[in-house]
């Protein structure tokens, strides 16, 4: 991966429909330097990768589980003159991605969580009730869709998903309405589901659409977004060199809580932890660089309303040795996608509150 002399500036321009959020502080916290290797774990439209490549003559490994994001990055790969490699992969496997690119350790890992504007805007992806489309919501192309979950999940599981991942107060009422509707005909479209929810949850002027929380919950569940996040953080901890930087931009309080708790646990000096009291953590693996999360200023929010809920946290990898395993107690107690699909709505067995 050799760099052409002016390739840093060549990749600085270019149009992307997704407007990256907090890109300047994100790249600053990554402390990009010439010769460094950085993983952009959520490539999307490549806004972060483009900024990292423009900051110094470095190398970027871009990962996205969405094949269309990887295909859309081909121009940037060309422009980067060998400094950008793209891989279709889940970021829980980012160690494997780096190894495949010949790197056992890297200088920085950055996550920009959630969905991209392109994913939201394509009706056929089924992420948004603003366009009618199939109730799909998968970021990658495999596994059960949101329609499968809505069709198969027991009332109890569905209510737990909406209440936990959507923080939806009306979860039970919504699920009763879904249950009545799916008894008549399968709920296969985004509009159909949004209309069922809107009958139960009254919208108020100026408030979010009544189906917003339901859609968010199903999307997070279908893609196991919180499980992926925790696995991604652990993988980044393993992959980063001492002095390497971790940067995470989260848009959802559940995500941000996981990032904050993970960093609090891994930066604690001496003794065990609330989550793993049995472990003597001699040395922390991270120093937290952001005592409070970085948020967007008014000017950025005015240009890009998505930025309003963004929270950036950053940390530096210490030389501390790794603790085995994934911290417990950081993920909400919910059945997995496989469990929900496996037992189906016909079975009334109590939800085994497994996990994680
Ligand atoms: C908010 S967008 C990132 C936008 C990007 N920073 C940019 O500037 O264009 C999030 C991207 O992460 C991807 N993604 C979400 N979860 C993922 C996971 N577990 N593994 C890999 N990619 C993931 C999504 O497919 C989406 O393209």
Over residues 101-126, the pLDDT tens digits come to 999 999 999 999 999 999 988 899 99
Residue 9 has pLDDT above 80, yes or no: no
For 299, the token pair is 């000017």
* Residue 298, C-beta contacts closer than 8 angstroms, at least 6 positions apart: none
Ligand 1 pocket member 69 (CB < 6 A): yes
User: What's the length of the chain?
Assistant: 356
Which residues on adjacent β-strands are paired with residue 185? none
What's the whole-model pTM score?
0.91
Query: What DSSP state is assigned to residue 93?
Result: G
Atom of ligand 1 nearest to the CA of 43: 5
Residue minimizing CA distance to atom 3 of ligand 1: 44
Give phi and psi for 216, each to the nearest 5.
-60, -45
Ligand 1 centre to CA of 46 (Å) is 9
Task: Specify the higher pLDDT residue, 253 or 1.
Answer: 253
Distance from residue 66's CA to the centre of ligand 1 (Å): 8
Query: Which pLDDT tens digit goes with each residue over 281-309?
Result: 558 999 999 999 999 999 999 999 999 99
What pLDDT is attached to residue 17? 74
Nearest partner of 57 among 78, 84, 20, 75, judged by Cα:
84
- List beta partners, residue 59: 37
């Amino acid at each position: 991966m050799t760099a052409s002399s002016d390739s840093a500036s060549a990749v600085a321009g270019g149009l992307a429909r997704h407007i990256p959020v907090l890109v300047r502080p994100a790249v600053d916290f990554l402390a990009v330097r010439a010769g460094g290797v950085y993983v952009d774990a959520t490539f999307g439209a490549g806004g972060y990768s483009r900024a990292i490549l423009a900051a110094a003559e470095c190398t970027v490994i871009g990962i996205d589980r969405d094949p269309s994001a990887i295909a859309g990055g081909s121009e940037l790969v060309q422009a980067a003159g060998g400094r950008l490699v793209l891989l279709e992969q889940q970021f829980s496997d980012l160690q494997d991605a780096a190894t495949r690119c010949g790197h056992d350790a890297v200088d920085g890992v950055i996550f920009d969580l959630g969905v991209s504007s392109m994913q939201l805007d394509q009706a056929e992806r089924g992420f948004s009730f603003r366009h009618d489309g199939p109730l799909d919501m998968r970021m990658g192309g495999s596994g059960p869709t949101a329609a499968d979950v809505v069709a198969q999940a027991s009332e109890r599981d569905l209510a737990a998903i909406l209440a936990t991942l959507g923080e939806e107060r009306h979860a039970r009422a919504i699920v009763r309405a879904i249950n009545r509707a799916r008894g008549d005909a399968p709920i296969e479209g985004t509009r159909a589901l949004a209309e069922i929810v809107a009958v139960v949850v009254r919208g108020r002027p100026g408030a979010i659409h009544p189906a917003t929380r339901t859609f968010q919950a199903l999307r997070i569940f279908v893609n196991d977004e919180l499980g992926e996040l925790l696995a991604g953080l652990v993988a980044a901890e393993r992959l980063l060199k001492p002095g390497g930087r971790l940067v995470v931009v989260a848009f959802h309080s559940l995500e941000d809580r996981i990032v904050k708790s993970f960093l609090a646990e891994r930066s604690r000096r001496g003794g065990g932890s609330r989550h793993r009291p049995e472990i003597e953590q001699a040395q922390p693996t991270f120093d937290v660089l952001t005592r409070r999360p970085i948020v967007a200023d008014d000017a950025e929010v005015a240009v890009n309303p998505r930025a309003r809920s963004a929270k950036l946290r950053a940390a530096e990898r210490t030389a501390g040795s790794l603790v085995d395993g994934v911290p417990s107690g950081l993920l909400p107690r919910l059945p997995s996608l496989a469990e929900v699909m496996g037992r189906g709505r016909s079975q009334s067995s109590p939800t085994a509150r497994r996990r994680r």
